[in-house]
Amino acid sequence: MATIHFKGKSYVQNHHLTLKYHHLVPRPEASLTDKVSLHDNLIIHGDNLLALKALLPTYASKVKCIYIDPPYNTGNEGWIYNDNVNSPMMQEWLKANSPVDREDLARHDKWLCMMMPRLKLLRELLRDDGVIFVSIDDNEVHHLRMLMNEIFGEENFISTVIWQKVYAPKSSARNFSEDHEYILIYAKESAIWEAALLPRTEEQNKIYKNPDEDPRGAWRPNNLAARNYYSKGTYSITCPSGRVIVGPPKGSYWRISEEKLRELDKDNRIWWGENGNNVPAPKIFLSEVKQGRTPQTLWFYKDVGHTQDSKRELLQILDFENSADVFITPKPSRLVERILRIATDEDAIVLDSFSGSGTTAHSVLALNQEDGGNRKFILIEMENYADSLTAERVRRVIKGVPKAKDEALKSGLGGSLSFFELGDPVEMQAILEGDTLPTYEDLARYVFYTATGDEFDPSKIDRSRHYIGENSQYEVYLFYEPDLKYLRSTAFDLEKADALGQPKANSKTRLIFAPMKYLDNDTLLNKRIEYCQLPFEIYK
């Protein structure tokens, strides 16, 4: 498989593995829920690369659908690459032309350096039957396609959608008025991912009539003649009126045999016209056709909205005085709803790590109200407007927008919201020196996920016996308190090992995290114990 090469790739292709896990700090005052929880609808304020890493212990392999709208790298956005890549050469290189602009001859390399570790973490968060949609334009679509082929696998490419983003040509365009953007679609495992059907439109259904009051309901006539050769499709037909049709039209064939025609006619599945004199037409009943439509790759603005729709939508919800205040480029909620209809079931988790104005959350809540679903959203926004704009839009959509034209939005779409800030890293040095020691639950979440790769459930914690959960292979125990005296004096010894009980045949291995141990390896082996020293010397 062809791979993409760019300046800095060797430094960033495994950068996501070197990142420290960070605390996610709840902000109840910015939330809209009785109990702030990581299992609620989430908005996280902070660097999106670090936030994605922080989500892994809870959401690895749990996300059904990802939609992201990253910087398009047009040269006019002024985005800054600030990932803390541990390379003096990279640091020196990244200082030049920051923020990245059109004059930066390495802007494509920097953009790829920014995207690569994020896409790798996004892939880790996807379910095996999950899918990612990425909005992009001509500036980077060719680079992005190659990068995603490398990360997701060329065999998992699904399609490229073309979205008609404007409704009128720009007279100021130099050569061509740019009317479209792209949405690249990749599955985590294309062999098991399948697009859902879209709802049928009124336009599709209105061609079905019932002029003969057939009890099976509305139908439409189908053409009996076809151009494809059919050896049994050259017979003559006698209509109920007595008219004889001598074979099909020149250059075509009847699409069914004479025997099949008689069979369908006997079942009143042939339409001969009101006077019984027409060329016979097999009936296609609305109740028997596919109850949905296969998604197509051309998405027109009349169906999913355009850029002006998205700005008007945001103005209506957030009371901006004029469109100039809308300094971001939001997507219309109908566009994201189209994605959700294709890619989610009613209990799906949806992630947007470049959340901007919060369109993805709006779309999730709107679709939930429409079909009674329980989809959850996770939004990550690194800019300072994460609370004042992103979360504020979501809070208003949940509670209701009085001046909205849409009645559902006017009265509120319902739902809840938990707001988190990206906190301090879970640091080994902090454990050793006693600075900002993590809480028991935070450290339990970290060690459990790192050791097992599975989601941590805090409700399983039993502090009385130091138990923090289990998976198919391990029972996991954590001997820890956020207290230096405890850490310096606590050891896993024979008394603590005996308190766990003697393991039964074929029982799970007990994985023990503790500051130190006073047991030899033979004793640990006999008791089916694997010891992992705190802070983070974790052995799988």
* Whether residue 52 has pLDDT greater than 50: yes
Mean pLDDT of 218-230: 95
Indicate yes or no: pTM above 0.85.
no
Q: What is the pLDDT of residue 535?
A: 56
* Whether residue 509 has pLDDT greater than 60: yes
Residue type present at position 500: L
Q: What is the pLDDT of residue 379?
A: 98
H or E segment and range at residue 475: strand 474-478
Q: Say how far apart CA 60 and CA 30 lie, in whole Å.
A: 26
* Whether residue 99 has pLDDT greater than 90: no
Residue 219: band (very low, low, confident or very high) from pLDDT cuts 50, 70, 90 = very high
Counting Cα atoms < 13 Å in the Cβ hemisphere of 511 gives 23
Which comes out higher in pLDDT, residue 160 or 103?
160
What phi-psi label fits residue 203: left (phi over 0), alpha (psi between -120 and 50 degrees) or beta?
alpha
Q: What is the pLDDT of residue 540?
A: 29
Return phi, psi of residue 49, to 5°. Answer: -70, -45
> Residue 242 to residues 64, 271, 277: CA-CA distances in angstroms?
60, 15, 8
- Give the 3-state secondary structure of 194-225: CCCCECCCHHHHCCCECCCCCCCCCEEECCCE
Counting Cα atoms < 13 Å in the Cβ hemisphere of 179 gives 11
| pLDDT tens digits, one per residue of 440-469 | 998 898 888 878 877 788 999 999 999 999
Q: What is the pLDDT of residue 230?
A: 95
Domains of the chain: 9-199+293-423 (3.40.50.150), 202-288 (no CATH), 426-533 (no CATH)
Three-state DSSP at 442 gives helix
* Whether residue 179 has pLDDT greater than 60: yes
Residues of the chain with pLDDT > 70, as a percent, come to: 90
* Whether residue 176 has pLDDT greater than 60: yes
* Least confident piece of the model among 178-182, 230-234, 321-325: 321-325
Residues of the chain with pLDDT > 90, as a percent, come to: 61
Q: Are 144 and 184 in contact (CB under 8 A)?
A: yes
CA-closest candidate to residue 87, choices 10, 25, 148: 10
Q: Which residues pair with 510 in a beta bridge?
A: 475, 529
Residue 81: band (very low, low, confident or very high) from pLDDT cuts 50, 70, 90 = low
Mean of pLDDT over the chain: 89
Counting Cα atoms < 13 Å in the Cβ hemisphere of 352 gives 30
Which comes out higher in pLDDT, residue 400 or 442?
400
